[in-house]
Every structure is written in C-alpha cells, then in structure tokens.
Amino acid sequence: MTRLEGKIAMITGAAQGMGESHARRFVAEGAKVVITDLNEEKGMALASELGENVLFVKQNVTKAEDWEVVVAKAEEKFGPVNILVNNAGITMAKSILQTTEEEYRRIVDINQVSVFLGMKTVIPSMQKAGGGSIINISSINGIVGGAIGYTDTKFAVRGITKAAAMECSNYGIRVNSVHPGVIATPMVVQEDTKAAVDEFAKHIPLKRVAQPEEVTNIVLYLASDESSYSTGSEFIVDGGLTAM
C-alpha cells in the first residue's frame, strides 16, 4: 500500500527544486497531484513526464483569483483536495537600507500572503474531503535570524501555521510548517553561488547541504496519515544548524 493512495494534493512552486521533488514522490506514493508554477514550460514538461495523475496549472500565488481557479480545476479533475503544500517562495539578500518598499512588499506577497490565500481557498475543499493536511514551507530563517524580508516572511509562515492549526483542528485539518536549511536546489547551486555554498557547508554539523529529497521525506510524512497527531508544529531539516 502506497502512503498517499487515494489522496489529492496541490503543490505550489512545483516546476523545479523542492516542489518538483515533492511532486515526484507524491505521485510515486499514489497521490493525484496538481502542480502550479509561473514557469509554464517546466511545469507542463513535468506534468507530461509524470503522467495522467498530474495536472499542471499556471498560477500566480499572490492572486486570490488564481487560487480559486486552481482549486476548481483540482476538484474538476480529481476531486476535493486532501493535501496542500505551500512551497512557492523567493529569497532576497539585501540589507534593510538597500531594500525598497516595492521589493519588501513583493517578498511579503509571495512568501507570506500566498500562504494565507492558499489556506483560505483550500480549506473548504478539504472540508468536503472530510479533512486534510496543510504543509507550509518556511525556512530555518523562520526559527533564527537572517536577511531582512526573507526572515520576516518565514517567521510569519511559522506563525500563521500555528494560528491556522488551532482553527482547523475543528475541521479535521492538520497544519504544520517545514523549515529547511541549505538545500541543493537550482537556485542555491548555480555557478555564481556554488563556491560560497560549498564553503558554508563546512560549518554545518553534518558537513554537507541537503538534497531536495531529504526535505521531501518530511513533507511526505506530514502529508500522510502517519502524522495524524501532528499539528501546529515545526519540522526542521537543517543538518543541525539551528542546534549550534
């Protein structure tokens, strides 16, 4: 028996990186998966590769109307949604003095407001399904400090997860946050950052960066019924960084 048999999942920012890893594993574990991204070319290619149990929908996660469309298409194609992985997000590495108001509001919209919109739109679908699991991807910078904008929004994801978990317990919906450290995604290991990442890895207790699949293992656990008594909690995947 596969771990997500009979489940309907939505994963945002799933055209590449961690989102792609989650999508591949969810399909392998028996789920029907709606993947969304702004990158239509990569999203369509991944959906085509993974087959009939995957639907790609182009989505701007900061737009409420896009969320309405995605949920409607998910229900039309597969049925009410059981799992939401709020994975879409961006990074920013500027000082507070260098960051413009426009840049700040953009990262808040993408990293924080999108999580609110996603949960607000998907919860009614999960109620139809009789319950569900929401996994909000934060960061270790939702636990400890980091760059302005990114840290703020990732702490907010941690907070909204706890608030939603309290409310959603009445609906049979669990809500948890995942806090990755340094992960070997295309955004992290591109040529202009690879040397810096390799050097930083020497200071991680486990002496390496993580592979996306190592985060996926935690996300899969939270999506499955194996985590039936976990809600409102943080799950850290950082090789020991925040233990230092």
150 is catalytic: yes
Active-site pick, 104, 150, 171, 221: 150
In degrees and rounded to multiples of 5, residue 192 shows phi and psi of -75, -10
The C-alpha atoms of residue 130 and residue 139 are separated, in whole angstroms, by 29
Per DSSP, which regions of 18-107 are E strands? 32-37, 54-58, 83-86
Which tokens in the block code for residue 84?
A: 């939401």
What is the number of residues in the chain? 244
Could you tell me which residues come within 8 angstroms of residue 144 by beta carbon, excluding any fewer than 6 positions away?
242
Looking at the DSSP bridge assignments, the partners of residue 86 are: 136
Active-site amino acid positions:
150
